[in-house]
Structure 1
Amino acid sequence: MRLTITMAVLTAAGFVASANAQTVVTIGHSAPLTGPQAPNGKDNENGARLAIDELNKAGLSVGGQKVTFKLDSEDDQADPKVGVQVAQKMVDSGVVAVMGPYNSGVAIPASKVYNTAGVPMLPVASNPALTKQGFKNIFRIGASDEQLGGTMGQFAAKTLKAKTAAVIDDRTAYGQGVAEQFVKEAKANGIQIIDQQFTNSSATDFLGILTSIKSKNPDVIFFGGYASQGAPMAKQMKGRGLRAKLLGGDGICSADMGKVAGEAASIVYCAQGGVSLDKTPAGREFLQKYKAAYNIDTQVYAVSYYDGVKLLADAMVKAGTTTDKAKITAQLAKTDYKGVAGTYSFDADGDLKGAPTTVYVIKNGLPVPYGQ
């Protein structure tokens, strides 16, 4: 009799434990967390963590099972080889999806690893080649180079009334891609490209390049690259007395740009994907939550990673699974999710449909929408 009672108690305890059990779901994050681009990588990570904290606090059930989310954030150092190693590590550890990579030069080779394993990836990496590979697991949560570079080409011609432009890119997949799209749109709008120069993603001295460009006196200089090079470039342009404005994509459109360039950042015009956050109630709320959580201002894509984690969780709920990557991928392909930065739905290539872009200037160290 005692044995029967004991077994009954143990069985009942087992049911309670089972009812209270939670499924732990690990989401990967690949970005440069060290080196010159670390502020952007950490910003992306912060956005993803903020979303995960909120999901865990609210409590979420998928397929009748309570879920706890974890973030496995790895430093890919903005290096393609390291990024591929990170991708293989993520796949081997069983992550359900990956936020990132941030850099196009990392995302393109890493995407092959994730595609082979069927792991959905949600990058902001903007080079059009990323989504032209025929993979079905890529869902770009930011604007592409076509949209970013194209926006700045039109802005240079129609708003700044530029007639001539010089172009510099850092030879990364991102830098080349956004510069090529600027050139294409600038030419279509009647701007003459009078010089094209190249640097690398670790350079900080541009005096030789700028001296050569100054002799040609362009109205604008477009830089395809990141703030870690764009900020010293802006300072050296001012120091050399160039009259041109410095234009760029989302890579230079950050708080870090204003912080490092100082007064020279006043010559900078740049494009970001998405609407201006301070123009919507949801955007303002996000900025306040981010500042309260981390005591710093956002850079560029924290909100995209925040939205990305939330839309990924929404896809799991609708697919009814946290483990079947094929079902999650299929749900992402047909998602229509309203986030803070806009509505997310994807075309057949995995590009964000109708991705809005906003042109910014740097005021008081921060990007501010042009004309505001």
Structure 2
Amino acid sequence: MRRFLLTALFLAACDGGSGPVEPPMEDRAAHCPERDPVMCAEDVGGLFPFTRHGSTVGLDDQYGDAPCVAGGGVTIEDVSFRWTAPWAGRFTFSTEGSAIDTVLTLRQGACGGRALACSDDAAGGAHSELTADLDECETITVVVDGAGVDDVGDFTLRVTGYETLCGNGVDDDLDGLTDCDDDDCFTPECAEPGDDWPEDWTALEWGVLEETNARRAEGAVCGGEEFGPAGPLEMDPLLRLSARLHSKDMAEQNYFSHDSLDGRMLGDRVAATGFGGTFLGENIARGQPTARAVVDAWMDSEGHCRNIMNPGFHFLGVGHALSAGGEPFWTQNFAG
């Protein structure tokens, strides 16, 4: 009898990686409709890439709640910026380099807009980081707050982007790298030609990405909780490396667990590749013969379904390997 096994994992991750090469800031949203003045935030237009160093000392507490903080209350000085996306794309907001323990919140529009996303202690550190998909000319308010009553002082806020169009010959995120030369571009067209992973395994991995994104686009109910449609995941080379190595290790050593036999856990395996992210999740499976079959199985399991549908995840690595006896092993590594 063929057996099919599944297990899911979600946890905080570690940070790492270097920042982009940044050109001078300029307002790249000047073509967008003029915005009405506001008193609740500094309007910085579409400055991109955006970097601001400052201090929260002596400022008002304009935003007293943060959904990612226990109890929702952050009742100390904060600073806020109204920022407009110069084009449709994926943007990262980070307070790495701040002298205080920060909480970062993205709010819809300006002033009283609802919280779209919130981050506290990204990657196990004191800084905060969020990734958001925004429409061209979409305006949000970025709020930098302190995590505790003593967290008042110097902060750093950066807004950077991703190369989301990988065949247009344009440096879309202005980091000095274009299309397949940019690590953001990891597609079948940009996959390294020297990759010695079996071609049929690689094809199955891309199939899992396609099936996963199809389910995210549809929305789903996971364990009684309804998830609306979520944006597509991008294949990340480092996450794929960690997923491949774990599938290969399980297949070769005949075990099935999120913890490697040498004691390494998901965070350890991902950190070893050099990947830096905000939080991680992992799905593993054993025995399913096709990409559709394994994604079907994951979607029928509450924990795996939640990982697949989590709108906070933006990146995916998929690893497929066969044991000596031909049994399939599958790993999905997710990151925000």
- TM-score bracket relative to the smaller structure: under 0.3
Normalised by the size of structure 2, how large is the TM-score?
Answer: 0.24
In terms of Rg, which structure is larger? 1
